[in-house]
Amino acid sequence: MSAELGRFILGTGGIGGMAAVTGPGIGLSEEQGHRLIDRAVREGFTVLDTADVYGLGNSERILGAWNRAHPGAPVLIQSKTGFTAGGPDLSPDRVRRQLRHSIDVLGRVDLYLAHAVDPDTPWSESLPVFSAAVEEGTIRAYGLSNVDEKALTAALETADRLALARPELIQNQYSLLARADDRGVLPIVESEGLAYTPFSPLANGVLAGRYSNGEKPEPGSRAGLGHRAGGLLADDETMAKVRRFDRLAEQHHVTPAGLALAWLINHPAVTAPIVGPSKESHWQGIIEAPGVAWTAQLGEELDALFA
């Protein structure tokens, strides 16, 4: 599976809204979203990632319209389910219902992920639904998102105990500024041969040099709407490290975004980071990253800076 995912995955959470936060009016319009997908396919992206909750459903709808207008496009469509207004819900009936809905809206679902851990539904109840979808050929593979070491271990043990198809993809937050998975999840990913596709690789723009000198997030931006960037921007020690990181990127003749993405695509456990460029300028780091002259010394410098 990992070989089919390409170097980057296109995140479409900003199409038709802004992830699960808003509907139309913030984020990319349908026309802008289609142009973004067209550009990503031209750049060689092979996976388009969405979720039933993104843009209050608009992301799937817009991606589905693009898919129907491009039959035979060489891409995999990935969606997720499990987030609801009342909290995580992976109850079997809901997962079945949402998968049917996503297939109807998108045209097909190749890769399907549990978007969150549901504390009220054990894996022994939810995983059989995902496994059956693989065995029936409804989807090609399934995965888990927002899982910690305990939840991932339990999911794999449950799949093996019940002789189910195993989850093959893990989608967690991971970047130079979000390293929790180093301690538990990534060793499992590597030992079990799972694909690992991190989201928020630039920490909502903090690692892209956008806010290094006290700039405020733009209204309607991911950093402005979400909670992830706020704590980082308010932490003087973290921002001092980010400014040193910016200078290191300059020394290597690359943008901060390019260096942050280069660190990820050269990480032995990372399969393909999820990126969601919403402006032309956001493509620069994506295009630069594969060309960074990567060395073990550079990796060690970055690990030391963000230890």
pLDDT in tens, 146-173: 999 999 999 999 999 999 999 999 999 9
Domain that holds residue 111: 2-171
CB-CB contact of 185 with 161 (8 Å): no
Q: State the DSSP H helix or E strand holding residue 189, giving kind and residue range, or none if neither.
A: helix 185-192
Tokens of 28: 């990319």
Residues β-bridged to residue 10: 48, 275
Q: Count each helix (H run) and each strand (E run) in the chain, helices first.
A: 12, 8
The tally of domains found in the chain comes to 1
Amino acid letter, 153: T
> Looking at the domain assignment, is residue 206 inside a domain?
no
Q: Is residue 117 part of a domain?
A: yes
Here the CATH number for the domain that contains residue 150 is 3.20.20.100
- Domain membership of residue 141 (yes or no) is yes
Percent of the chain predicted with pLDDT > 90: 83
The band of 13, judged by pLDDT with boundaries at 50, 70 and 90, is very high
Asked if residue 125 lies in contact with residue 117, where contact means CB atoms within 8 angstroms, the answer is no
pTM: 0.93
- For residue 63, tell me if it sits in a domain: yes
Give a yes or no: residue 155 inside a domain: yes
pLDDT one-digit tens code per residue, 72-112: 999 999 999 999 989 999 999 999 999 999 999 999 999 99
User: Would you say residue 220 lies in a domain?
Assistant: no
Most distant CA atoms of the chain, gap in Å: 54
Helix (H) or strand (E) holding 111: strand 111-114
In a domain, 109, yes or no: yes
Residue linked to tokens 């979203």: 33
Lookup result for tokens 């967690």? 172
Q: Is residue 10 part of a domain?
A: yes
Separation CA 47–CA 61 (nearest Å): 17
